[in-house]
Structure 1
Amino acid sequence: MSEGSDRTPATDGYVTPIAGLMALLFALMAGLTAQRALSGDPADAVLPVAFAIGALGALRLRQRYAAAASADPDADTTDDETA
């Protein structure tokens, strides 16, 4: 019995769109809280900055998974098959 290593997990196709939606959500929350941060106490600026960092992190995660998904999946298996 084989482990089915030639099959990709079902979750591979969901990471990229969910990370994109999370980036959009974080960017929206950063924009909604920016007015309060600009007109209030400097300590209020922490929340929009944290949301902006979260949006950038989610975009970076999305880019990494999109690049991994677009890579050639047969590149690793050709070496194993010839050995």
Structure 2
Amino acid sequence: MKPRKIPQRMCVGCQEMKNKKELLRVVRTPNGEVILDSTGKKAGRGAYVCRSEQCFAKAFKEKRLERALKQTIEAEVYELLRSGITNE
């Protein structure tokens, strides 16, 4: 039996390829809202970030998350995402 392929995604913070289950998905929904996707299946454009504070800070500082989602993100939304990352 052939082993199952494990999906890989790139973290927007550190630019490293990692297993999809190790990363958190941030989604821009079709109506323009930016939220944290814990299931990994919500509809919309997604970007992946490591579960570390450093990767998230780098993605915020260099606006990598904004580029990946193709939308500007307000500071309040960043704080909600940051609290979601530290809680998980």
Same fold (TM over 0.5): no
Normalised by the length of structure 2, the TM-score is 0.26
Normalised by the length of structure 1, the TM-score is 0.27
More strand by share: 2
Highest RCO, 1 vs 2 (Cα 8 Å, sep ≥ 6): 1
